[in-house]
Amino acid sequence: MSALKIHNTLTKQKETFVPINKGEVNLYVCGMTVYDFCHIGHARVMVVFDVVSRYLKYLGYNVKYVRNITDIDDKIITRSIESGEDFKQLTKRFIDEMHQDEASLNVLSPDIEPLATDSMEAIITMIEQLIANDNAYVGPNNDVYYCVESFENYGQLSGRKLDDMNAGERVDVDSSKRNPFDFVLWKSAKPDEPSWSSPWGNGRPGWHIECSAMATCCLGNHFDIHGGGMDLQFPHHENEIAQSEAATGEKYVNTWMHNGFVRIDDEKMSKSLGNFFTVRDVLKKYRGEEIRFFVLSSHYRSPLNYSDDQLNESRSALERLYTALRDVTPVKNEVKSTYIEQFENAMNDDFNSAKAIAVLFECANELNKLKHTQPEQAAKTAADLLTMAEPLGLLSQDPDLFLKSMAGQDASISNEEIEAQINQRLEAKANKNWSLADQIRDSLKEQGVILEDKGPETTWRRG
């Protein structure tokens, strides 16, 4: 088996992964800002890093996975005011909705899920340290700002240099800042907004400092992997590095991972552009596993083009895999198969789930050939297929139940009605009424039900 290599955004190259502490991996991922339902872009972050965590565990690492929740920021306050709902009630409601979406996508809960509002003491302590180190200052408006010029390596993650950036075009000019690219660490309170007491007066933290405080509190000053969407690379993650390393004097993160955008009609999917689909809406038409398969069908760093055609292909692909597993009782293979080796080589190449899924189909094709000729080998091949699917979070359902489920949409015909018509067809065949038997089969097919005759028995699935 090849060694695990991960593309590190910091160095712009694939690197052999070596954890800080042997056998242990500390992983932090920027989570959701909870003021609305999760969209497919959020689903990609959830699924991608769920697979990263699962596969690291598959390799035998003891993984501590932290994914934060941002439960106070400008968008949350604005939505709270618009809806007339207390911000705590608002965020609690959307945290619950987020967890429901996760469960639908078979995303495992992170080990720790810190809230920004529960981390105020750590946030204030880090800001105090930055001020003491001359990396931050209190502005004339009583906001606290990070001084980007005080950090020599600012821009190391994104490749941007302060001297090369046109401040007038990229940021709003704020007379309270010493440099237009200085960013806020603590915002002084405005009337009727949520606030917390601090040495600089009542206020609330800036977004960037929240993640630095939560990550270091949960995982220490220096940890293995930090992940998130590509849109967070600058300025959020750049600012995280600057403030964390300036406060602690230690390297913040060894490996940075960023997943690509979800795109609609060649545009990035986002709430600001108004071209997004919520997970909840997509689940009305598609199973959670179909959405998950769709996400994993492309390499995590590549753009993911959303369309019904792509999701329909994911549905058909899963049906093929589950059909291969149908009527086979897996028996663990004591010898690592060629399929397992190919799967591990794919995943060890920067978590290449698309290539890994191709191996699953090769295994499923072999399983279909063996089912009726070599049942003992078929049982081992089925076990190999499930072994590979588990770290991807796929094929965890009973094959028969999956193939007979309603695929996320209202079925025109119930399972009971299907079974009744199959019995009528079997009776027609027994009476050699082939015309009626064909008529029933064709009628069911028009309603999305596929019959499969196996000797005297008939199985079915929704297609």
User: What does the block give as tokens for 338?
Assistant: 């060629």
Tens-digit pLDDT profile for residues 19-72: 999 999 999 999 999 999 999 999 999 999 999 999 999 999 999 999 999 999
Residue 432 sits at φ, ψ, to 5 deg, of 60, 30
Residue 173 has pLDDT above 90, yes or no: no
* C-alpha R_g of the chain: 26
CATH of domain 5-264: 3.40.50.620
- Model pTM? 0.90
Query: Pairing relation of β-strands 304-305 and 203-205?
Result: unpaired
CATH 3.40.50.300: does it fit domain 308-402?
no
Q: Of 445 and 222, which is predicted with more confidence?
A: 222
- Please classify residue 68 by burial: count the beta carbons closer than 10 Å to its beta carbon, then call 0-12 exposed, 13-18 middle and 19+ buried: buried
| pLDDT the model gives residue 452 | 75
Give the pLDDT confidence score for residue 186 in this predicted structure.
Answer: 98
Q: Cα separation of 135 and 422, whole Å?
A: 74
pLDDT at 102 over 90: yes
The two domains 5-264 and 308-402 share their CATH topology (first three levels equal): no
Rounded Cα distance between 60 and 12, Å, is: 27
Residue 410 pLDDT exceeds 60:
no
Tens of pLDDT along 191-206? 989 999 999 999 999 9
d(CA 104, CA 98): 10
Residue 305 DSSP SS3: strand
Task: Answer left, alpha or beta for residue 198, where phi above 0 means left and psi between -120 and 50 means alpha.
Answer: beta
Band of the pLDDT at 213, cuts 50, 70, 90? very high
Residue 414 pLDDT: 76
Q: Looking at the predicted structure, is the pLDDT value of residue 370 above 50?
A: yes
- CA distance readout (Å), 424 to 381, 434, 445: 36, 12, 15
pLDDT at 434: 78
Region 308-335: what's the mean pLDDT? 94
Cα separations in angstroms, 124 against 131, 181, 392:
11, 21, 39
Could you tell me which residues are annotated as the binding site for Zn(2+)?
30, 211, 236, 240
Binding site for ATP: what residues are annotated?
A: 271
Q: What is the mean pLDDT of the chain?
A: 92
Does residue 2 register a pLDDT over 60? yes
Judged against a pLDDT cut of 70, whether residue 113 lies above it is answered with yes
Cα maximum dimension of the chain:
93
Binding-site positions = 30, 211, 236, 240, 271
pLDDT tens-digit map of 333-357: 888 999 999 999 999 999 999 999 9
Which DSSP string corresponds to 421-437? HHHHHHHHHHTT-HHHH
At 168, the pLDDT band (50, 70, 90 cuts) reads very low
Q: For the chain, what are the domain ranges?
A: 5-264, 308-402, 415-462
